[in-house]
Amino acid sequence: MDISRKWLADYVTLDCDDAVLCHKLTMAGIEVEHVEKLSSVPAGVVAAKILERNAHPGSDHLSVCKVTDGTEELQIVCGAPNCDAGCIVPLAKIGTVFHTPEGEFKIKRSKLRGVESFGMMCSEQELGISDNNDGLMILPADTKLGTTIESLYPGDTQIELEITPNRPDCLSLWGVARDVSCQLQCEAKLPEITVPECDIQIPDLVTVEDKELCPRYIGRVIKNVKIGPSPDWLKERLESIGLRSINNVVDVTNFVMMELGHPLHAFDRNALSGNRVVARRAKAGEKITLLDGREIELNESHLVIADGEKPMALAGIMGGEFSGVTESTTEILLESAVFKSSHIRTTSRQLGISTDASYRYERGVDYDMAEVASIRACQLILATAGGELASAAMEVAGVRPEEPVINCRFERIRSLIGTTVSNERIVEILRGLRLRVEDITSESCKVTAPLFRLDLTREADLAEEVARIDGLDKIPAIPVQGKFCHSSTEDVYTPVRKIRDTVIGMGYYECIHYSIVSTASALADKRFEKSDLIELDNPLSPDSAWMRPGLLGEMIATVGRNLARGNRDMRLFELDKAFCKNPEKYPEERYELLMLITGRRHPERYSSEAEADYDFYDIKGEVELLLERLGIRNYRFVIPEDNDGRFAPGMVMELQLEGKSAGRFGELAPEFSAKWRNASAVFFAQIDFAKLLDVSGHTVKAYKELPQYPGTSRDIAFLAPADMESGSVLDFLKRCKVANLESVQLFDIFVDDALKAQGKKSMAYSLSFRNRERTLTDAEVNTAMDKVRSKLAAELKVELR
């Protein structure tokens, strides 16, 4: 809401500059969003003294003056009759910019009929101070030369406020003044609001059929009004807060709404069938064309103000096209009503219409203000549009709301705020806010909030009032104290962070994607079908309607985006939530881990070291390393029977933890990667976070004694069928139960054209032997090796070399 300083000053004495006022407002909870100076005097106009006045050689009506602003002497050519030597006048120096309705104009050095002029001396009209254009503005003789005229004639200041929804009482100049007066500890006063007595009764002028939706309606009739332009003071007030002047009556209703916060409507009484109004629910099928030209089809949920026949206004929101005041209006019915706030809010939102009136009604207006606003508007209409009152206040009223009485315990207020504010100060603040304070004891008091403070119903609400008026800056910062509470081990945050950090430690870049995704993105994770997806009821666009079932879809998009920008080397991961509707697959909401690598293994190096791209064994090694870092030893990689579609054929393995599937890794299916140009193969691992957590959770790291005796190793090489898996060799050696065999490590795989032709490959392993109690003898190791050789040859059918 916009207010202007000058208007505010009509109700409260402001002994502070704009900056202090704005600070006070903000610190009292009426936040200042924006401040704009509305001064009409351009910067660069200063007080100057005319030293000499000489006749212009080429003109009868121009003078050539010598002028000083206290720092320099200038020659100015002037056409004003009163540019006499000795006068102090406003001087617009070179460079001053005037804003006129015709546009900007800038004072330049110029020649008038052959005589040079270095500025312009101004009249009051030229400076926008008044309409006087008879001659130069003459400043008081004691004006200090060089003083800016702007500082002598400060304009108004427009202040934009953010009013929180709990403070509808501040949606008016008077409301803000009332609150400011408490902060500034001064008095706020309304002007005298009266109308001449009139006791003409028009019993059927106002009918209210639904008193729940319309608990108060006051109608007054004024006849013989003359619609015309508003007086300057009224235009100026409205313009100072950015409202446009329309005509005297409409301007008055707007003025009173902004002044008192109570919306009003002026009907042309002669346009009302039966010259009366009825507040009733609309009938199904009734229509109304609003002031803005929109035609609305109404139903029983809408409250309308109707005349004898048809709806004339959408109650509390907007008038109908033909209901309002026009140039030919002579008799008006002035409405000042109270409507139920939730009803106005619902209707306004449903129809998508928000007006200054609905904005106030939906937040709640002051029941008692309806009468004051009605009188105030009549007073101003009579003053600006003439005419005379033709009825008394014709009022239909429901029940006046009860004012809540709040028990206010001083100690409780202090303990909530944390200051030592005294009982007396608490009472002073509450009274300053126009609350009724009674039954004051040393411990408590009874507080009655007026109807304009609907937000005050409880002690905590009073604590807030005391805190904001006394000043939140008075609250001390008491160092943290209190008992330690429950343990963090029961929550998932810590393990998520631990695993995230582990993956980062492995050189991955963490990604964060939106979790609402398109159909294509959701179904890119081929573990899921459409029926597994959780769909939003009101997505932003029809295509981003799904909760992501896995992290793959968005990650693929990220890879594509990076490749398109020339970023070809990536080590990316995301550890976050994914969602699934099918409880047989996954819980509704779960954490998942996705790691992805593509491009060069060592892009930061050069020569041959930089050339190699990632391959399958890199992603496998990444998974192994992750498990090792998390202390998980009880895992297996198996070749799954099905490729779920996410992976390239034959390029996928499954991770099993404690015998159960816990994710897969391998090369991304060409379906996704084929469209990328210049891309290297993409590898990723998807790991079920819950299973990882479960297993790492009960993995205990324990010290293992370091060996005391030296070990020894022997190599073995053989020709094996080309399709023999290294894993089966290792499994076989494990099953052989060779004495003292500590570990086996592959050190070479070799195929040349000749071997290839035979369907064979050469495999070489290094076997390490060690005994924990003693040093092994050569003989022992040789015996063991003999056993290995013969078993390999006999059972695995390999050719030893």
Q: Please say which residue, 275 or 515, places its beta carbon nearer to other proteins.
A: 515
Nearest distance in Å: CB 73, other proteins:
38
Site membership for other proteins, residue 27 (CB under 8 A)? yes
Nearest distance in Å: CB 365, other proteins:
17
Nearest distance in Å: CB 209, other proteins:
23
Nearest distance in Å: CB 99, other proteins:
23
- Side-chain half-sphere of 293: how many Cα atoms within 13 Å? 0
CA distance 14 to 241: 18
CA distance 428 to 420: 15
Q: Please say which residue, 137 or 499, places its beta carbon nearer to other proteins.
A: 499
DSSP type of residue 477: -
Q: Exactly one of 14, 317, 556, 570 binds other proteins (CB under 8 A); which one? A: 570
Q: Please say which residue, 218 or 466, places its beta carbon nearer to other proteins.
A: 466
Q: Exactly one of 148, 330, 558, 740 binds other proteins (CB under 8 A); which one? A: 558
Nearest distance in Å: CB 445, other proteins:
18
Of 793, 722, 718, 706, which is closest to residue 763 (Cα–Cα)? Answer: 718
CA-CA-CA-CA torsion sign (477, 479, 483, 488): positive
Q: Is 749 helix (H, G, I), strand (E, B) or coil?
A: strand
Q: Please say which residue, 356 or 644, places its beta carbon nearer to other proteins.
A: 356
Q: Please say which residue, 486 or 701, places its beta carbon nearer to other proteins.
A: 486
CA-CA-CA-CA torsion sign (76, 77, 79, 82): positive
Nearest distance in Å: CB 19, other proteins:
11
Site membership for other proteins, residue 415 (CB under 8 A)? yes
Site membership for other proteins, residue 511 (CB under 8 A)? yes
Q: Please say which residue, 386 or 560, places its beta carbon nearer to other proteins.
A: 560
Tell me the two tokens of residue 413.
């207020």
Region from 117-125, 139-147, 570-578, 666-674 binding other proteins, contact rule CB under 8 A: 570-578
Site membership for other proteins, residue 430 (CB under 8 A)? no
Q: Please say which residue, 111 or 486, places its beta carbon nearer to other proteins.
A: 486
The radius of gyration computed from the CA coordinates of the chain, to the nearest angstrom, equals: 43
Residue count, binding to other proteins (CB under 8 A): 93
Q: Please say which residue, 539 or 650, places its beta carbon nearer to other proteins.
A: 539
Contact 654, 664 (CB under 8 A): yes
Site membership for other proteins, residue 509 (CB under 8 A)? yes
Binders of other proteins among residues 284 to 343 (CB under 8 A) are: 342
CA distance 692 to 684: 17
Whole-angstrom CA distances from 77 to 64, 66, 147, 527 are: 5, 9, 22, 88
Nearest distance in Å: CB 299, other proteins:
19
Binders of other proteins among residues 589 to 618 (CB under 8 A) are: 589, 602-606, 609
Nearest distance in Å: CB 25, other proteins:
10
Tell me the two tokens of residue 228.
């015309």
CA distance 770 to 319: 97
Contact 522, 528 (CB under 8 A): yes
Nearest distance in Å: CB 270, other proteins:
38
Beta strands in 339-465 (DSSP E): 388-389, 394-397, 405-409, 436-438, 444-448
Q: Please say which residue, 539 or 721, places its beta carbon nearer to other proteins.
A: 539
Binders of other proteins among residues 139 to 178 (CB under 8 A) are: 164-167
Q: 423-432 and 173-184 are packed helices; what angle lies between their axes, rounded to 10 degrees?
A: 160
Site membership for other proteins, residue 464 (CB under 8 A)? yes
Binders of other proteins among residues 526 to 545 (CB under 8 A) are: 534-540, 544
What is the per-residue DSSP string for 656-694? EETTEEEEEEEEEPHHHHTT-TTPPPEEEEEEEHHHHHH
Contact 116, 161 (CB under 8 A): no
Nearest distance in Å: CB 482, other proteins:
5
Site membership for other proteins, residue 207 (CB under 8 A)? no
Tell me the two tokens of residue 538.
């009101």
Nearest distance in Å: CB 337, other proteins:
20
Helices vs strands, H then E, count in the chain = 21, 40
Site membership for other proteins, residue 510 (CB under 8 A)? yes
DSSP type of residue 225: -
Region from 410-418, 708-716, 762-770, 783-791 binding other proteins, contact rule CB under 8 A: 410-418
Contact 145, 114 (CB under 8 A): no
Binders of other proteins among residues 467 to 496 (CB under 8 A) are: 467-468, 472-473, 475-488, 491-494, 496
Q: Which helix (H) or strand (E) holds 60?
A: none
Site membership for other proteins, residue 460 (CB under 8 A)? yes
